[in-house]
């Protein structure tokens, strides 16, 4: 029996919250510990998005679900060699907000249907 998708959505939000706290601690392009923590949380976040139901993700076409999945594979398997810290920093700054808003919307919609 699989877990309810809402647990994965909450996991995404938790990873985003951790990424924001990492940002507050310093520059990931200058601190390898913060950079490693960022990579780990992006991996966790990306894995959790893969476990959301496809029929739910199709309601949010502005989110690049397939690219997030591919990004996870790059993070985990390091296909491209050394991953560029500037690119990772840009991903955090540019893409977390829309994913967070989408995930919250999914959960809000789910909660409004529950008695």
> Rounded to 5 degrees, what angle do the CA atoms 9, 15, 21 make?
140
DSSP string, 44-100: HHHHHHHTS-HHHHTT-TTS-HHHHHHHHHHHHH-TTSSPPHHHHHHHHHHHHHHHH
Q: What whole-number distance in Å separates Cα of residue 97 and Cα of residue 79? A: 26
* Residue 72 known to be catalytic: yes
Question: Does the annotation count 77 as an active-site position?
Answer: yes
Structure tokens belonging to residue 115? 């008695």
Q: From the candidates 20, 40, 66, 77, give the one annotated as an active-site residue.
A: 77
C-alpha 32/C-alpha 92 separation (Å) is: 16
Catalytic residue, candidates 20, 72, 95, 113 = 72
In eight-state DSSP terms, residue 27 is: -
Annotated catalytic residues are 72, 77
């Amino acid at each position: 029996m699989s877990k309810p998708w809402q647990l994965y959505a909450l996991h995404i939000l938790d990873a985003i919250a951790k990424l924001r706290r990492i940002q507050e601690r310093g520059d990931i392009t200058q601190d390898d510990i913060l950079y490693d923590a960022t990579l780990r949380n992006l991996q966790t976040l990306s894995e959790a998005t893969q476990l959301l139901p496809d029929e739910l993700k199709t309601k949010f076409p502005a989110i690049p679900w397939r690219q997030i999945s591919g990004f996870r594979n790059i993070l985990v398997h390091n296909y491209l060699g050394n991953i560029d810290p500037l690119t990772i920093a840009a991903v955090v700054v540019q893409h977390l907000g829309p994913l967070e808003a989408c995930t919250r919307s999914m959960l809000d919609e789910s909660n409004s249907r529950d008695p």
